[in-house]
Structure 1
Amino acid sequence: MSPVLVGCVLLLPLAGCVSKDKSDLEKYVEDVLARKGGQIQPLPPIKPYERYIYQSAEKGLRDPFQSFLNEEPKKETVEAPANESQKHFIDEMQTHNPEELESFELDSLRMVGILQNNDELWGIVKDNAGTVHRVQVGNYMGRNFGRITTIQEDKIELREIIKTPQGNYEERQATLALSEQ
């Protein structure tokens, strides 16, 4: 059976529903308009605003408007070098500008891909909140001053500066591999 014929058969019953006589509708509208309207209730009385000044902060209590979830972790303070071989680590830690991905642990970051534009290669990194970041060689990520040294199709290599139990600083290589998910 053709679709046109099926459509005609389905529309045929609707043709019987059409009436050109609208007198019943016009009569109903006239009846509704002729009705007397009801009385509108008065508004309830409005209570005056009473001002309240929050004074608990002066007493040393916590500010209820300050978020307790997004508190920034304190950065490790860098002490004066014990010897000259440690000076270049401390100089780097003190002089570089902190970047957004340094607020995340390296374990919570995932490499999800790369972008290439001519000779530039960018890594695509996703944090644990699901936000996607674009990084390149020289950017920092992780809490141990992890500086990106190379970006490859399947991994991002970093050089981290960690503090040893003896109080010295040393370099450690870290890798962020391409995530399969």
Structure 2
Amino acid sequence: MIKYLLILLALSILSGCSFNNDHSDLRERMAAVEREPKGQIEPIPTFTPYSPYVYSAAARRSPFTRPVLESEQRVVGRRLDIAPDLARQREVLERISIDLLSMVGSLSRDGQIWALINDGSGGIHRITVGNYLGKNHGRVVNATGTQLDILEIVPDGSGGWIERPRALALEERDNG
């Protein structure tokens, strides 16, 4: 009995939709919309062409690195015995600029401190006093748990070499 009532209810709902084929109200609304004035589309705005900037100071110090202060640039004076050992086999970190290297940790074993250096591409290297890093023949002369003291040998501009001290400090990250 319930089955017949449900079928009868469904047929009555469907019959209400099918018997009214008069769509005159829809046709009137469509005709009214077509009679309305058409809108105007605004023209595309014109833009001035981009002119790229030519960076001509590529050989200078990067503007994103900390400048070396005069007090830090104290040099040991020009000595004739200062020159990099060009016959020495270069270490892995000497292929990377010291500005791209960062100290990320340290280890201590039998009183010797080893610094953990990030090479900028995700590699971590372990170095200590006597190791070399950076493109300017930088040699680690002192290591603490938070800093490496480096002595670089750089050209002095007149055909000689000078020693320049640098430091690489432990980077602290905010884990918040």
Larger RCO, structure (CA 8 Å, separation 6 or more): 2
Detail structure 1 runs of 4+ shifted over 6 Å in the superposition: none
Q: CA deviation at 1:165?
A: 1.6
Q: CA deviation at 1:138?
A: 0.3
Question: Which residue identity does 1:137 align to in structure 2?
Answer: V
Q: TM-score, normalised by structure 2?
A: 0.52
User: Which residue does the alignment assign to 2:157?
Assistant: 165
In proportion to residue count, which structure has more helix? 1
CA distance in 2, matches of 1:113, 1:119: 16
1:135 aligns with 2:135: no
SS in structure 2 opposite 1:158? strand
User: Which residue does the alignment assign to 1:145?
Assistant: 137
SS in structure 1 opposite 2:82? helix
> Percent identical across equivalent pairs?
33
Consecutive unaligned residues of structure 2, counting only runs of 5 or more, are: 1-78
CA distance in 2, matches of 1:95, 1:109: 24
Of 139, 155, 158, the match for 2:147: 155
Q: CA deviation at 1:172?
A: 0.3
User: Which residue does the alignment assign to 1:89?
Assistant: 82
8 A Cα contact 2:102 2:171, kept in partner:
yes
Question: Which residue identity does 1:97 align to in structure 2?
Answer: Q
1:109 aligns with 2:101: yes
Q: TM-score, normalised by structure 1?
A: 0.50
CA distance in 2, matches of 1:95, 1:170: 19
Q: CA deviation at 1:96?
A: 2.3
How many residues align structurally? 96
SS in structure 2 opposite 1:157? strand
SS in structure 2 opposite 1:95? coil
CA distance in 1, matches of 2:138, 2:120: 18
Question: Which residue identity does 2:101 align to in structure 1?
Answer: L
Of 124, 129, 144, the match for 2:116: 124
Highest CA radius of gyration, 1 or 2?
Answer: 2
8 A Cα contact 2:113 2:145, kept in partner:
no
Q: CA deviation at 1:98?
A: 0.3
1:180 aligns with 2:172: yes
Deviations 1:49-98 (A, max 9, x none): xxxxxxxxxxxxxxxxxxxxxxxxxxxxxxxxxxxx42x333x4223220
CA distance in 1, matches of 2:88, 2:141: 15
